[in-house]
Amino acid sequence: MKTRHWPFAPLIVLFLAAATFLAPNVGREASETRAAADYSRALKRAQYLLNASIPTDAEFSADAGKETDYEAAVRRFIDNPRFYDAVMRYHERLLGVGLPAEYLEELQRPDIDGKELKLARLRCTRGQGAASRFTCAWEGGDAGRNRTGQCPKAMQEPVTPFWKPEAIVWVCPSVARACGSNLSKCFVEYSDENEAKNTELGTSEAFDSRYTIVKSLSRQAAGLATAVVVDNWPYTKILEPGLTAVDGALAHFYGQKHHFDIDKLNVPADLIRQLEDVNVDDTRFNLVYTGNHYEHAGILTTFGWMRRYEKNRTRANQLYERLLCRRFTADLPRVFPQDPGNLRTREGCKGCHATLDPLADFYAVWGEGGALYQGNAAAKKTTFAGKSGSTLADLSSIITNDEAFATCTVQNAWEWMMGRKFYKEEEKLRDGLTAYFVKTRYSFRELIYALATHPAFTSAARADAVVTDPLDPPPLGKVPETTQKTCKPAVDFDTDIGPRATRYCAGCHDGTDGRQSLETEVDWRRLGKTALGLLASGSMPPGQSGPPTAGEVFELKEDVRCWVEQQDL
């Protein structure tokens, strides 16, 4: 029960009715200047969306006076540390990934000592009163531990907990021995679940392994995309094979191999090694690259994505919608047959399944539900958008080399900033923004700057969020225009391709160590199309940051593309 006494609550209800007059008064000026830019209004919106705060009078004076002041403010918002939180939330909503705490249980090992002990679980609490101690004791579930976990107050030892080194927690000697000097070997539960759930890690003594770890596992995909944006990597990196993102809680989780079956996640050993020094209260996700792992594709193979979208078809469907802005829609048959047979060819089903099922096959090495990684033997050769492959790295390459990915990213960012979809008549605007996004090598930061400073955003007027005549989804199969050059009338292998191919490909691809040979024109006639895909995605030669947009590799890729087209290979 609340103890405060506040007798004026009914007045609020009365006042709410009266308060409605505030809005028209404040908004009147805006409607009078409908056509013009209103930098005060734009500032309020940009600052809230990008930094989650409302401008003060001083900020309005400094930043909303003229266009250049406003633009400088937007740049500051993007450089501000709070931009991280805004982009994180944007991606959480975009990817729709969240997991209840129970999902952690499936990763727990059945026992940790080969006997009956499930988890070395502590329960931490602070007693009542100002001078009370913060203590951690064994949680129930193991009678033996319970007995040895109890000790007189005089025997308790002070230790510094790993989640907040400034705090002191008192534990019995058996706890300190088993859990380590900072308790990091044990699973911790906090007595006040509500506080533990809502605490920003490291800001208080409240810590609960259940919520902290699941929250980070859920947010890993969003964290990866956010780190890509904040560090200004090309946005195509969100699907980069071998790239992941880890915060302190996940580093702590990956380090508890005695509690959790980390192998299920197919986490590269190199990742574990790199995380040894990470402190648990580092709440920000950092990018970690572990080399080219063909079965991984950035956000698409994070635990949160895999478990939230449990079936391979669901995973395929969700990426089709969320990363390519396209939906599977078809006229369903009036009567569903009991055994429809092959959905990819059956009338009434194939409208979706002819595309959806091959797309889902890229996930073949990943089991459904909690099964997770199944090994490379399960890989299938499949196709999407007219391009073939068998691994998630191939799928990543197909998606990032399709203009639909860039266009969809623009569309999603537009909806975040503008609060509505594009109208059909705004196709040129979407195309312009997409071209700019590609031109800045997929810089999401620059895309946001372009949107927040666009006259459409700074407009004083406000419209309905429901767009009655929306723009069509981006078409599949189009290569981003700024990454294509005009082909020479007749590309010659020996003069146009041979020298660069020797420099960038033949050094490794000499037919040894299981690698295909790319030394001769005959080799390129046989493998040119596959090589083109790898060049275009930035997967080859090693060391590319993403799809090449300029330089020697770009020239090689373009000459190969033109040659393949002209030779009809």
Cβ-Cβ contacts under 8 Å for 534 (sequence gap 6 or more): 397, 540
Binding of other proteins at residue 407 (CB under 8 A)?
no
Burial string for 359-376 (b: 16+ CB within 10 Å, else e) reads bbbbbbbbbbeeebbbee
C-alpha to C-alpha distance for 536 and 558, rounded to whole angstroms: 9
Q: Please say which residue, 431 or 521, places its beta carbon nearer to other proteins.
A: 431
C-alpha to C-alpha distance for 279 and 208, rounded to whole angstroms: 16
Binding of other proteins at residue 347 (CB under 8 A)?
no
Q: Of the candidates 70, 187, 233, 366, which one interacts with other proteins according to CB under 8 A?
A: 233
Binding of other proteins at residue 456 (CB under 8 A)?
yes
Q: Please say which residue, 166 or 339, places its beta carbon nearer to other proteins.
A: 166
Stretch of 3-11, 364-372, 383-391, 497-505 lying at the interface with other proteins (CB under 8 A): 3-11
C-alpha to C-alpha distance for 455 and 434, rounded to whole angstroms: 17
Tokens of 292: 């080219």
C-alpha to C-alpha distance for 246 and 236, rounded to whole angstroms: 18
Stretch of 117-125, 338-346, 357-365, 450-458 lying at the interface with other proteins (CB under 8 A): 450-458
Q: From residue 462, give the alpha-carbon distance in Å to each of 22, 37, 66, 88, 456.
A: 17, 12, 20, 26, 10
In the complex, the smallest distance separating the C-beta of residue 122 from other proteins, rounded to whole angstroms, is 18
In the complex, the smallest distance separating the C-beta of residue 296 from other proteins, rounded to whole angstroms, is 13
Q: Of the candidates 159, 171, 491, 536, which one interacts with other proteins according to CB under 8 A?
A: 159
Q: Please say which residue, 126 or 346, places its beta carbon nearer to other proteins.
A: 126
C-alpha to C-alpha distance for 223 and 299, rounded to whole angstroms: 9
Positions in 239-298 near other proteins (CB under 8 A): 240, 243, 270, 274, 277-279, 282, 286-290
Tokens of 231: 């560090």
Binding of other proteins at residue 199 (CB under 8 A)?
yes
Binding of other proteins at residue 336 (CB under 8 A)?
no
Q: Which amino acid is at 197?
A: K
In the complex, the smallest distance separating the C-beta of residue 278 from other proteins, rounded to whole angstroms, is 7
Positions in 21-80 near other proteins (CB under 8 A): 21-23, 25-27, 29, 34, 40, 44-45, 48-49, 52-57, 60-61, 64
Stretch of 88-96, 350-358, 470-478, 526-534 lying at the interface with other proteins (CB under 8 A): 88-96
For the chain, first and last CA: distance in Å?
77
Binding of other proteins at residue 132 (CB under 8 A)?
no
Q: Of the candidates 391, 411, 538, 558, which one interacts with other proteins according to CB under 8 A?
A: 538
Binding of other proteins at residue 16 (CB under 8 A)?
yes
In the complex, the smallest distance separating the C-beta of residue 303 from other proteins, rounded to whole angstroms, is 13
Q: How buried is 160 (Cβ within 10 angstroms: 0-12 exposed, 13-18 middle, 19+ buried)? A: middle
Q: Of the candidates 69, 76, 80, 89, which one interacts with other proteins according to CB under 8 A?
A: 89
Cα dihedral across residues 199, 138, 370, 235: positive or negative: positive
Tell me the longest C-alpha to C-alpha distance in the chain.
Answer: 89
C-alpha to C-alpha distance for 521 and 511, rounded to whole angstroms: 14
